[in-house]
Structure 1
Amino acid sequence: MNKMKMNFFCSGLVCLVLLTAMPFISFAQKPNWQNLDLKADSTFGISTEKAYNELLKGKKSVPVVVAVLDGGVDIEHEDLKPVVWVNKKEKAGNGKDDDKNGYIDDVHGWNFLGSSKGSVNYETLELTRLVRRDNARFANSDATSVKASELPAFEAYQKNKAEFEQELAEAKIGLERFEGIKNAIDEVVKKIGKENPTIQDFQSFKPSNDMEANIQRILLAQLKESSFEDFYKNQIMSGYDHFKSQVDYNLNLDYDPRGIVGDDPNNSKERFYGNNDVTGPDARHGSHVAGIIAAVRTNNLGIMGVADNVLIMSVRNTPNGDERDKDVANSIRYAVDKGAKVINMSFGKSYSWDKAIVDEAVKYAVSKDVVLVHAAGNDNKDLEVEPNFPDPEYIGGGKAASWITVGASGWTNDGTIKASFSNYGKTKVDVFAPGVNINSTVPGSKYEKLNGTSMASPVVAGLAALIRSYYPKLTAVQVKDIIMKSVVKVDQSVEIRDEAGTKKVPFSDLCVSGGIVNAYDALKLAAGYKK
């Protein structure tokens, strides 16, 4: 779901890349800002530290299992290992299904993207899969040759195919441009003769043509705020890799990795497949999410999670590409059956293959008193107009009562409080939470700052777990109600960009609650909560 939005200003082959969604650019702000307090720290966090200092000292809590449905979690990370969930009914490594739940050796969770053959890393987008499916029916058809009963499906196919072709064309242009600037930088670095040149090295460099002069100008500006290594990795290679994976995998009609899993991807009712590799081939995103929720607060290492008595269950359902509805449904059911009381879902897509099967799983979770927290998405779009799946609204009517959709906010109480990339929706997004430049855990016991509603969602999941930990008698629906009623209202107008241009709207038009979640106020409300 972490899609980068990029603009390009090109001169010849050289493009100055502006990452408008700010996925990696470093900005100065206070450490642990998402947990700080607006009044005490002049930072629009959620007042977690204030809550611990003033409300929770000496209070007892119970452990709460939070399922991270994602791309995998590094369960050996120094700041996560002590809070990793353990299935006590399963004996590790014996190759048996000790707890008789259909999943062998699921000691720390489950991976619905693998088998004994390995695990899926890259996947296609849902749009690609829909076009591939319907090509078989309609590739050689037109409106006159299609049966009247199939006309709606044919029209949907035409719309999807046009969207697919546009996205593929844009990805190819993006790849070409990033490849151009990458090659140009590589050539200059080769001439300088250092693997990681400094700003002084670029100042001393004598360009021999306009392209090299442009590279020099760009790097002199960038290296005032970053090292060359970080700039190259986070702004050049990240963009190059993003577009290359789109062209090679996400938007490739001939690419299908599902054979690794060995299931029938068209059978949404199939439940028992996968493996117990809960880390998977790329656990960066899921580990970052897990750390925001529950990184150990008392070990003087790295960061501090929102919740202090949480066990993280890793359920792998999200590849580098779009998740499949079947896997989403199964991962929700797995998490519920193994005792998760909060589920974080930092993934999403614009199309749904089988929404009904996800709806069934969501209804099951709601019936079992589980809070479901979902990221609103990073496309700066209005969810009143454009969908983002999964969502809490059931086919045929009704809505998941304990579902919370989360937009991303920044730390400054001004017109920039809405993250530029965050989706929004007056009735579709419930709350906003910190999601810009959030430092958290990544594989190898390292830490990294990332941006996205993917980061905002676990802030709220952590808050839900914190409430359930200290006030375990509250139901999932009551926890949502408390989170919604305790937001800090934002009395600002913010800029929204759409196809018509830029306009200013009240922040209250962006979400149901009109504010940013707040742990201090939520816990105060929970203490005397009466619905």
Structure 2
Amino acid sequence: TYNWYDAINGQATPYDDLGHGTHTVGTMVGSEPNGTNQIGVAPGAKWIAVKAFSSAGGTSEDLLKAGEWILAPKDAQGNPHPEKAPDVVNNSWGGASGINEWYRQMVQNWRAADIFPNFSAGNSGPNDGTISAPANYPESFAVGATDINNLLAGFSSRGPGPYGEWKPDISAPGVTIRSSVPGSKYQNMQGTSMAAPAVAGVVALMKQADASLTVDEMETILITSAIPLTDSTYPTSPNYGYGHGLVNAYSAVSAVVNGIGRVQGQVIREGQDTENPTYQHTAPIETFSNMTLPLTVQVQDNVNVRSVELQYRASETAEWQTVAATRTA
């Protein structure tokens, strides 16, 4: 109850007759009980699942039912329970490129419910403008695929998206990915379907570090903490192949736990706040390469402080990067 919904056959207990779903879940949370053979990014996270695909594919009706159930898992009597909704929903599926908004309201509703909408970018590369719907929606977080050398997979769908957004948003390993398949076995698979669940696992780690993070905050942290990737086709970053770069779990979670950089900004509350915030921050006396650098800042305002952004750069000539600060008190 609350953890499984079968839109295809109505079975009450989880099963997988295709193997694709078990492989993606393994990348998110897989690990053997004794901690060996850890295939998952977030092996301690809890997971729920919806079966919306058969060997013939998925229908719009079943996928809409699945998305609605994610918003509010139902009990045995069919009553919805939005308090049981997950923190992140991984979608290793998609359709054709271009504008097709049949699922957009569902993605918007997920965001409104603080559910991170994670999508595989699609496997229609190397042509430009091939990001699939729903991954190409402005509200979706699209993930491209890289290989063991951090090079873009030839099959990974490319931007630009049809709404003028940077797509894909980010990249993750998606070539020759070893994960679980039914029957207590393991298998290598490839595709952006394999890359997206790695990012979903990082989202779980971030939520473990700070359960109050919003979808917008997590998107910002994932993008600003990513490792920029370029090649001869995409010489600058961000780009329409790798997005903002390779997902970096350690940096993303560190940004949540510690916060890094310098502070600037204006707290705004319409019609009331006319006074700038004040802050106190003591810079570290000595720094060196690769050191862990926890930074704190005390921020005050006469009305309220809703968020604080931290800016940092690696050198005097590097571009400033921005991440959301974590409030500790």
TM-score of the pair, normalised by structure 2: 0.68
Root mean square deviation of aligned Cα: 2.4
CA drift of 1:353 comes to 12
Match of 1:323, SS state, is coil
Match of 1:484, SS state, is helix
Distance 1:331 1:407, change over 3 A: same
For 1:460, the equivalent position in structure 2 comes to: 199
Match for 1:388 among 132, 151, 155? 132
Match for 1:448 among 178, 183, 187? 187
CA drift of 1:429 comes to 0.8
CA drift of 1:404 comes to 1.1
Output the CA distance in 2 between the equivalents of 1:423 and 1:352.
Answer: 12
Amino acid at match of 2:112: S
Amino acid at match of 1:449: N
For 1:505, the equivalent position in structure 2 comes to: 234
Matched, 1:524 2:259: no
- Contact preservation (8 Å) 2:126, 2:154: no
Question: What do the CA deviations read for 1:154-200 (whole angstroms, capped 9, x no partner)?
Answer: xxxxxxxxxxxxxxxxxxxxxxxxxxxxxxxxxxxxxxxxxxxxxxx
What are the within-5 Å matches in structure 2 for residues 118-129 of structure 1?
Answer: none
Matched, 1:318 2:57: no
For 1:112, the equivalent position in structure 2 comes to: 7
Q: Which protein has the larger Cα radius of gyration, Structure 1 or Structure 2?
A: 1
Give ranges in structure 1 of 5+ residues lacking alignment. 1-86, 88-106, 115-273, 394-398, 494-503
What are the within-5 Å matches in structure 2 for residues 278-317 of structure 1?
Answer: 278-282=14-18, 284-296=19-31, 299-317=34-52
Output the CA distance in 2 between the equivalents of 1:506 and 1:319.
Answer: 40
Output the CA distance in 1 between the equivalents of 2:241 and 2:173.
Answer: 15
Distance 1:389 1:320, change over 3 A: farther
Amino acid at match of 1:110: Y
Output the CA distance in 1 between the equivalents of 2:54 and 2:110.
Answer: 23
- Contact preservation (8 Å) 1:383, 1:428: no
- Contact preservation (8 Å) 2:158, 2:241: yes
- Contact preservation (8 Å) 2:16, 2:22: no
Matched, 1:364 2:109: yes
What are the within-5 Å matches in structure 2 for residues 244-263 of structure 1?
Answer: none
TM-score of the pair, normalised by structure 1: 0.43
For 1:408, the equivalent position in structure 2 comes to: 145
Distance 1:351 1:411, change over 3 A: closer
Output the CA distance in 2 between the equivalents of 1:353 and 1:424.
Answer: 15
What are the within-5 Å matches in structure 2 for residues 51-62 of structure 1?
Answer: none
CA drift of 1:392 comes to 5.0
Output the CA distance in 2 between the equivalents of 1:352 and 1:276.
Answer: 36
Give ranges in structure 2 of 5+ residues lacking alignment. 74-84, 161-165, 260-308, 310-323, 325-329
- Contact preservation (8 Å) 1:485, 1:513: no
Output the CA distance in 1 between the equivalents of 2:203 and 2:123.
Answer: 22
Amino acid at match of 1:420: G
For 2:157, the equivalent position in structure 1 comes to: 423
Q: Which has the higher helix share?
A: 1
Q: Identity, % of aligned pairs? A: 27
Output the CA distance in 1 between the equivalents of 2:205 and 2:157.
Answer: 26
Match of 1:461, SS state, is helix
Match of 2:122, SS state, is coil
CA drift of 1:321 comes to 3.6
